[in-house]
Structure formats: C-alpha cells, structure tokens
Amino acid sequence: MRTKITELLNIKYPVIQGGMAWVAEAYLAAAVTNAGGLGLIAGGSAPADTIRREIRKARELAGNKPFGVNIMLMSPFAEDLAELVVEEKVPVVTTGAGSPGVYMERWKTAGIKVIPVVPAVALAKRMERLGADALIAEGCEAGGHIGELTTMALVPQVADSVDIPVIAAGGIADGRGLAASLMLGAHGVQCGTVFLTANECIIHETYKEMVLKAKDSGTMVTGRKSGHPIRSLKSSFTRRYAELEASGEMTQEELDALGSGALRKAATEGDRENGSFMAGQIAGMISECRPVNEILEGMINEAQVLLN
Amino acid sequence: MRTKITELLNIKYPVIQGGMAWVAEAYLAAAVTNAGGLGLIAGGSAPADTIRREIRKARELAGNKPFGVNIMLMSPFAEDLAELVVEEKVPVVTTGAGSPGVYMERWKTAGIKVIPVVPAVALAKRMERLGADALIAEGCEAGGHIGELTTMALVPQVADSVDIPVIAAGGIADGRGLAASLMLGAHGVQCGTVFLTANECIIHETYKEMVLKAKDSGTMVTGRKSGHPIRSLKSSFTRRYAELEASGEMTQEELDALGSGALRKAATEGDRENGSFMAGQIAGMISECRPVNEILEGMINEAQVLLN
C-alpha cells in the first residue's frame, strides 16, 4: 500500500502510532516501526535525558528503520527536546499543542520531516506556509487533548486547503477506518487508542482492561469550560472532575491541580480512583489485546479487501 | 450504485435527504426523489393537516417514486402524524428524538419501511429488536439535535452490532463522504447541510448565504448543559445563548423559551439576530448553490471514481 506518506516517511504501511504521553515509549514505538508503520516516542513533559534514552533504546530495537518523536509544545522541556531531535538525528517529528514555528528552520536544516497535528483548517494552512512536510488532521473523537471538528468533517476540508499530504487521526482502529480515511483525501492514518491495547504497550493492565471493556459511549470530555478539552474513558475521576467543573466551586488553578498527574496515575499505576484514562470513542470497537504486527497487518489487509 | 439501501427503498442512489424541520418540505423532497435519492418531508412540530398537504404536493411532483416523512417523536402531533403516514400510504418513515416503539406495529402492518435515527449502539440494537428496517447512524458533526459520537466512530460500531442496513449521517456532503461511509460499513448516507444550499430548497437566502460563507469551525454547540445539544452556525443568537447558558442566570425554561421558534426565524425570515441557523460542520466545504440533481450526481460520480 503505497501513498504519499509511505514515500515521504520511507515506511511500508501508511500508519503512524500516536505520540501519547506516558504510553508511547521506545518499546511500543520500535514494535510499530518494525511492523512497517511509523512508531513514535512521546516527549510529553519529560526532560531531554529521559527522551534521549528512549530514542537510543528505540534505535537499538528498530535498527535503521524510521521512527519519530512527538514534541508537545507546552512542555517545559520543549526547547531541549527541539535540540535533542537534531542531535540524535531523529528522522520525523510530530508536534502538538501549538505551533512549532520557532523550531521549524532548525529542524528543516537538519533534514527532519516535520508533521504538526492540526484541529482545523486555519492552523493547517499556517503550518503548510511554515514548511511542514505533512499534517495530522485529528478529529475530536480521538483520546486526549482534542479540538472541535470531527475526522469526517475535518479531513476533506484540510485536504482541500493544503497541497502537502494529510494523515487522518481520530476514530480509526481498523481497515475500515483506514480505507475511509483514504476516501476522504488522507494519505495515511494515525492511531492511538488501538495501540493502547497492543501487547507491546507498557501501560498498566487496568488501563488496557478499561479500553477493552469500554462501549461506544464509554468516553467523555472534560475541560471544555477551560478551553482545553480532553477525552478520557468515563471513570470515577472524570465524573468527579466534570461535576466540580460544572459546579463552579473550584478555580481553574484548583481544577488543573486535580488533573495534574492523572494520566501518569492511569498509565503507570492503573489508579481507577484518581487516574485519567485517555482514549478515543473507537475504544468501543476494540475487544482484545494483540501484538502490534497483527494490529497493523489486520488493518492493512482489511483496507485492501475493502478498496478492491 | 446498488446497495442494500437502494434495494430496500427502491431508489437509484443510496442517498437520503435529512428530515430537517422548517426546511424539508414537498418541493425539496420531490426534487431529491426525482433525482434518484430519497426525499423526506419533515413533520417537525407541525399539525397533521400541514403535513398532509406536503405529502400530496410531493406526490404530485414526484409521481409514484418513493419518498419519506420524518416524525420527530417529541412533537405534540406525533400521534396524528403516525396515523397520517398510514392513511397516506407513505412508503418510508424516519424517526428522531426517541423510540418509535408504540407506532412500530401499526407502521409495519401498513408496509411502511421504518428507519430510526440513532446516536449510539444501545439504541441501534433496541431499534433492530423492535423491527426497524434500517438505521440512520448520525454523528455529532451533523446540524441540529446531536448525540456524542462522531460518524467515524459511530458507523462501524453500529454496523458491527446490528444485521439491518445502516445509513451514515453527519459530515457528508460529497462523493468522498459517501465513499468513506461505504468503507465504514454503511449502505447509504443521509445528507442535510448540503441540501440547505440546493436551488430547490425554500429557506431564506440569508440562511443559504450563511452556510456558503461558513468555515470549517463555523458551527457551535449549545444546550449541552440541558442534555439536548444542538449544532448551529455561529451567530449573534448562538453566542448570546451560549453566554446565558454558561452564566447560569436563566432557568432552563427561560432558555427553552429563548430558543423556541429560533429555527423558524432562521429558515423563514433569515433573522440574523434571533435565528438559529442549524447546520453541520461540513458547511465549511460547501461553496455554491446547485440544483439537487447536480448535488446528487456529483456525489455519486465522485464516489464511483474513488471506489474504482
């Protein structure tokens, strides 16, 4: 399955693994890369030394095959990570939570392929003007930090507004989603939620169980009031947070403090009471843990049958 | 383009026009039916005599070709309309805003094909058990009253959970959306927003202009607090409503009174100050008014090229 994205990134399948903080580390990224997709290491809010170790570990596991690093631009270490990917000669960088404008020249000079995540057409156009090599158009059915537009509405509108290749994200976990994304004008897909349940994913078993048990309406959005909405699996934490948010009893600072560390508690401790188990609406479709290569090959085979 | 939906409904193209209150009357419905899709007359909150006139007018304009009536189950006239469609031998009924359980036996006995709109898997399964002939799985990118799930996430999950045919709705306005929906497991699509801009659509010119001018992020959702979210084009009305809703200054009854009649003011008067111009996120993709047959044939031709 050759597309503009497989050619741009020199990968076998047009499937990218999402750069999920506390989830996307070397072992998962290398598994996706080794299976023919593009694995990603999430910078999250981690310091450069931690991510340097992950990059080197991924390289050990995946040899010369391409992988990427996701840089969350609100991270206190964003500048350090921006330099790190140049030093470590990381071939692909995806960015979230803002504009990577200040780093673009440095990265392009180093030959890094830069792929920002965009939630709307205006930012897509701006990223193309800045020199982005491709875009990830992510719909609000995705897990974690989300925008307003859905994948179905966003992808064709972004594809119409830029000339660089578009990667669809949000609500994609099988060959149907991949085939649909290609019909919408995308040249590849980014998947997050389905890789949460990969055998190679290191998150706590409780997190995986919660994804497997989730129904279609098993996620909810908190943080709309603050302007930073986040989609997670419904849990006692998200319900409590939503109630406090609606009641107006807490300041935004107090709410932020409550949310701080909640993803870590979910991913590393499986803490059902205090963890924020981020996942997308497609969690309802996922019913078993599988090795990364089965997830990827199942997706590709199903898409090819549908497209033929 | 033959699918389970074209066979079930005896139509040429697997495209249904949404049953939009104050929009979907005889002239638009007949135009869609005559062009090879399935036109729908919206019952809205209108009394039976009004809808009887529309049904007879549509029949005059479309001869024996099939069309449908959408019954909004919260309408004060729902029971009258339920009887009317039997008397008038309407071949297809779609339902919204609840479960048509109490009418199902009467309609099935009369040979009416019943197609409920569903926002989630649980209602989809219940509707299949009740005897529905097909389902419209509508994502939250649609205009008007919406659920939580997006089209991309909802359609495959509904398709996996029922054996009856599924029609995708929400975010679909061209051949890309139709082709993507078929990949996701749907057997047809329902479109609303694109038909707002059809030449044959009788809404106020201001409403059409607002759809044409809308960008991808040109819609917003109000009513989330009340549990009855509605998607409309951003306007002074929706902004004012959202502020009042967030402020907590008004009771829900007062908010409902403010919203009451707002769609009529948009559709019939083009009232920018007090109208609620309901439309989906795909409005940003629509840039010209066209005749219904061009919209439909453009969609079919584009989908066929993509699928071959």
Q: pLDDT for B169-195, tens place per residue?
A: 999 999 999 999 999 999 999 999 999
pLDDT at position A88, please?
A: 97
Q: How far is A43 from chain B (nearest CA, A)?
A: 27
d(CA B182, CA A20): 30
Enter the ipTM.
0.96
d(CA B240, CA B5): 41
Q: Is A49 on the interface with B (CB under 8 A)?
A: no
Q: Is B189 on the interface with A (CB under 8 A)?
A: no
Secondary structure of residue B284 in the 3-state scheme = helix
Q: Which residues of B touch A280 (CB under 8 A)?
A: 153
Task: With CB atoms and an 8 Å threshold, state whether B183 touches A183.
Answer: yes
- Go through A120-140 and write b for each residue having 16 or more CB atoms within 10 A of its CB, e for each that does not: bbebbeebbebebbbbbbbbb
- Helices B252-259 and B236-247: angle between axes, nearest 10 degrees: 170
From the list A120, A152, A284, the residue facing B170 with the nearest CB is A152
User: How many A×B Cβ pairs under 8 Å?
Assistant: 132
pLDDT in tens, A260-270: 889 999 999 99
pLDDT at position A249, please?
A: 85
Q: How far is A148 from chain B (nearest CA, A)?
A: 8
Q: Is A3 on the interface with B (CB under 8 A)?
A: no
From the list A140, A215, A224, the residue facing B150 with the nearest CB is A140
Nearest CA among B222, B210, B183 for reference residue B287:
B210
pLDDT in tens, B145-156: 999 999 999 999
Q: How far is A283 from chain B (nearest CA, A)?
A: 9
Backbone phi, psi, residue B119, to 5°:
-100, -5
The half-sphere exposure of A251 on its side-chain side, counting CA atoms within 13 A, is 3
Secondary structure of residue B282 in the 3-state scheme = helix
Q: Cβ of A287: how many Cβ atoms within 10 Å?
A: 11
Q: Which residues of B touch A122 (CB under 8 A)?
A: 215, 217
pLDDT at position A13, please?
A: 98
Q: How far is A118 from chain B (nearest CA, A)?
A: 13
Q: Which residues of B touch A152 (CB under 8 A)?
A: 139, 141, 150-152, 170-172, 177, 180, 282
Which of the residues A121, A215, A216 would you substitute to probe the B interface, choosing the one with the greatest number of B C-beta atoms within 10 Å? A216
pLDDT at position A37, please?
A: 98
State which residue of chain A sits closest to B142, comparing Cα positions: A153
Q: Is B87 on the interface with A (CB under 8 A)?
A: no
Q: Is B179 on the interface with A (CB under 8 A)?
A: yes
Residues 6+ apart with CB under 8 A from A43: A19, A21, A51, A69, A70, A71, A72, A75, A77, A78, A81
Q: Which residues of chain B have pLDDT under 70?
A: none
The 8-class DSSP code of residue B285 comes to G
Q: Is B170 on the interface with A (CB under 8 A)?
A: yes
Q: Cβ of B163: how many Cβ atoms within 10 Å?
A: 6
Q: Is A242 on the interface with B (CB under 8 A)?
A: no
Residue B40 near residue B69, CB atoms below 8 Å: yes
The token pair at B11 is 């139509």
pLDDT in tens, B213-253: 999 999 999 999 888 999 999 999 999 999 998 888 888 88
The token pair at A69 is 């690093």
Q: How far is A159 from chain B (nearest CA, A)?
A: 11
pLDDT at position A226, please?
A: 85
pLDDT at position A1, please?
A: 87
The token pair at A218 is 């098993």
pTM for this prediction: 0.96
Mean pLDDT, rounded, of chain A: 96
The token pair at B272 is 């920018």
Residues 6+ apart with CB under 8 A from A75: A43, A44, A45, A46, A81
Backbone phi, psi, residue B26, to 5°:
-55, -40
pLDDT at position A85, please?
A: 98
Is 90 exceeded by the pLDDT of residue A251?
no
Q: Is B243 on the interface with A (CB under 8 A)?
A: no
Q: Is A91 on the interface with B (CB under 8 A)?
A: no
Q: How far is A4 from chain B (nearest CA, A)?
A: 16
| Angle B207-B212-B218 from CA coordinates, rounded to 5° | 85
Helix (H) or strand (E) holding B42: strand B39-42
Q: How far is A227 from chain B (nearest CA, A)?
A: 13
Is 90 exceeded by the pLDDT of residue A253?
no
Q: Is B185 on the interface with A (CB under 8 A)?
A: yes
Task: With CB atoms and an 8 Å threshold, state whether A306 touches B183.
Answer: yes
Q: How far is A206 from chain B (nearest CA, A)?
A: 23
Q: How far is B208 from chain A (nearest CA, A)?
A: 19
Task: With CB atoms and an 8 Å threshold, state whether B151 touches A148.
Answer: no
From the list A120, A216, A307, the residue facing B153 with the nearest CB is A216
Residue B62 near residue B68, CB atoms below 8 Å: no
pLDDT in tens, A193-226: 999 999 999 999 999 999 999 999 999 999 998 8
Q: Is A141 on the interface with B (CB under 8 A)?
A: yes
Strands A230-233 and A219-222: antiparallel
pLDDT at position A248, please?
A: 82
Residue B279 near residue B211, CB atoms below 8 Å: yes
pLDDT in tens, A112-134: 999 999 999 999 999 999 999 99
Strands B15-17 and B67-72: unpaired
Is 90 exceeded by the pLDDT of residue A258?
no
From the list A141, A156, A183, the residue facing B285 with the nearest CB is A156
Q: Is A218 on the interface with B (CB under 8 A)?
A: no
Q: Is B298 on the interface with A (CB under 8 A)?
A: no
Helix (H) or strand (E) holding B252: helix B252-259
pLDDT at position B97, please?
A: 79
pLDDT at position B157, please?
A: 98
From the list B120, B176, B281, the residue facing A150 with the nearest CB is B281
